[in-house]
Structure 1
Amino acid sequence: MQQVKSVITEFRGGHYDFGLEQAEWLKSTLMMENREREWRLRRPRFDIDSVETEKVYQQFAPKIWEELMGIQDGLKLSLEQILLNFGHYRVYAKESGCSVFTSDSYLVRNYDYHPATYDGRLTFFQPNDGGLATMAPVSRITGRMDGINEKGLTMGYNFMHRKKPGDGFVCYMVGRLILETCATVQDVVDLLQEIPHRSSFSYIVLDPSGTTKIIEITPRDVVVRDHHYCTNHFEVLTHENRRVLTDSEMRMQAMTEQVTDALAADQAFRVMNNTEAGIFSDKYSSWSGTIHTSCYFPKELKALFALGGNQSPVELDFGRWLSGHALDIKTIHGQIDSDITFASE
Structure 2
Amino acid sequence: MPSFNVSIVQARGSSFQIGLKTGENVCNTPILKIFESVTKEEIDLYSMKSIYSTFAPHLLEELEGLAQGLGISPDRAAALFSGYDVPKTEEMGCSTLLTNEYYVRNYDFSPALYDGIFSLIQADETFATAGYNLQVLGRHDGVNEKGLVAGLHFVSHDGYGKGVSPWTAIRMVLDRYSNVDEAVAMLKEIPHSACYNFSLGDRKGNMAEVEASSEKVIVRYGDSALSCVNHFQDDRLKSKNRDSIEGSVQRNEHLLRLVDKSLTHHDMFRHFKSVESPIFFTDYESLFGTLHTFSYSYQHSRILTTIARSSQILDINLKDWVKGEDIREECLSGFIVEG
The TM-score bracket by the shorter chain reads: over 0.9
Q: Residues 122 and 104 from structure 1, CA distance in 2 versus in 1: closer, same or farther, beyond 3 angstroms?
A: same
Letter in 1 for 2:179: T
Question: 1:338 offset after TM fit, Å?
Answer: 4.6
Alignment of 1:3 with 2:7, yes or no, is no
Alignment of 1:194 with 2:189, yes or no, is yes
Give the alignment partner of residue 118 of structure 1, picking from 88, 104, 114. 114
Question: 1:117 offset after TM fit, Å?
Answer: 1.7
Name the residue aligned to 2:263: 263
Give the alignment partner of residue 200 of structure 2, picking from 192, 200, 205. 205
Name the residue aligned to 1:108: 104
Q: Deviations over 1:224-278 (max 9, x none)?
A: 1124111111110211111111111122222222354611111111221222331
**Uncovered stretches (5+) of structure 2, i.e. residues with no partner:** none
Question: 1:162 offset after TM fit, Å?
Answer: 1.0
Please say if residues 312 and 332 of structure 2, whose CA atoms lie closer than 8 Å, have aligned partners that are also in contact.
Answer: no
Give distance in 1, aligned partners of 2:311 and 2:164. Answer: 33
Question: 1:51 offset after TM fit, Å?
Answer: 1.6
Q: Deviations over 1:149-198 (max 9, x none)?
A: 01011111211001221321101101100100110100011111111111
Q: Which moved more, 1:309-318 or 1:221-230?
A: 309-318
Please say if residues 310 and 335 of structure 2, whose CA atoms lie closer than 8 Å, have aligned partners that are also in contact.
Answer: no
Name the residue aligned to 1:54: 49
Alignment of 1:279 with 2:254, yes or no, is no
Name the residue aligned to 1:70: 65
Q: Which moved more, 1:59-68 or 1:279-288?
A: 279-288
Q: Flag as ranges the 4+ runs of structure 1 deviating above 4 A.
A: 309-312
Name the residue aligned to 2:85: 90
Give distance in 2, aligned partners of 1:225 and 1:67. Answer: 33
Give distance in 2, aligned partners of 1:290 and 1:110. Answer: 7
* TM-score normalized by the length of structure 2: 0.93
Q: Which moved more, 1:299-308 or 1:79-88?
A: 79-88
Alignment of 1:232 with 2:230, yes or no, is yes
Q: Deviations over 1:187-232 (max 9, x none)?
A: 0111111111111111111111101111110011111112411111
Question: 1:310 offset after TM fit, Å?
Answer: 7.5
Q: Which moved more, 1:195-204 or 1:254-263?
A: 254-263
**Uncovered stretches (5+) of structure 1, i.e. residues with no partner:** 340-345
Question: 1:78 offset after TM fit, Å?
Answer: 3.2
Please say if residues 152 and 299 of structure 1, whose CA atoms lie closer than 8 Å, have aligned partners that are also in contact.
Answer: no
SS at match of 1:251: helix
Letter in 1 for 2:50: K
Give the alignment partner of residue 138 of structure 1, picking from 125, 133, 138. 133
Q: Residues 262 and 155 from structure 1, CA distance in 2 versus in 1: closer, same or farther, beyond 3 angstroms?
A: same
Q: Which moved more, 1:329-338 or 1:309-318?
A: 309-318
Please say if residues 154 and 298 of structure 1, whose CA atoms lie closer than 8 Å, have aligned partners that are also in contact.
Answer: no
Question: 1:84 offset after TM fit, Å?
Answer: 2.2
What does 1:293-308 align with in structure 2 at a 5 Å threshold? 293-308=293-308
SS at match of 1:151: coil
Q: Residues 179 and 86 from structure 1, CA distance in 2 versus in 1: closer, same or farther, beyond 3 angstroms?
A: same
SS at match of 1:98: strand
SS at match of 2:76: helix
Q: Residues 56 and 136 from structure 1, CA distance in 2 versus in 1: closer, same or farther, beyond 3 angstroms?
A: same
Give distance in 1, aligned partners of 2:312 and 2:323. Answer: 26
Q: How many equivalent pairs are there? A: 333
Question: 1:311 offset after TM fit, Å?
Answer: 5.1
Name the residue aligned to 1:148: 143
Give distance in 1, aligned partners of 2:261 and 2:199. Answer: 16
Name the residue aligned to 2:160: 165
Letter in 2 for 1:108: V
* TM-score normalized by the length of structure 1: 0.91
Q: Residues 275 and 99 from structure 1, CA distance in 2 versus in 1: closer, same or farther, beyond 3 angstroms?
A: same
Question: 1:142 offset after TM fit, Å?
Answer: 0.5
Letter in 2 for 1:199: A
Give distance in 2, aligned partners of 1:276 and 1:70. Answer: 42
Name the residue aligned to 1:21: 21
Letter in 1 for 2:115: D
Q: Which moved more, 1:26-35 or 1:179-188?
A: 26-35
Question: 1:300 offset after TM fit, Å?
Answer: 2.1
SS at match of 1:276: coil
Aligned-residue sequence identity (percent) comes to 30
Q: Deviations over 1:107-146 (max 9, x none)?
A: 0000112211211111111111x11110111111111111
Give distance in 2, aligned partners of 1:177 and 1:300. Answer: 24
Give distance in 2, aligned partners of 1:184 and 1:97. Answer: 25
Give distance in 2, aligned partners of 1:261 and 1:211. Answer: 20
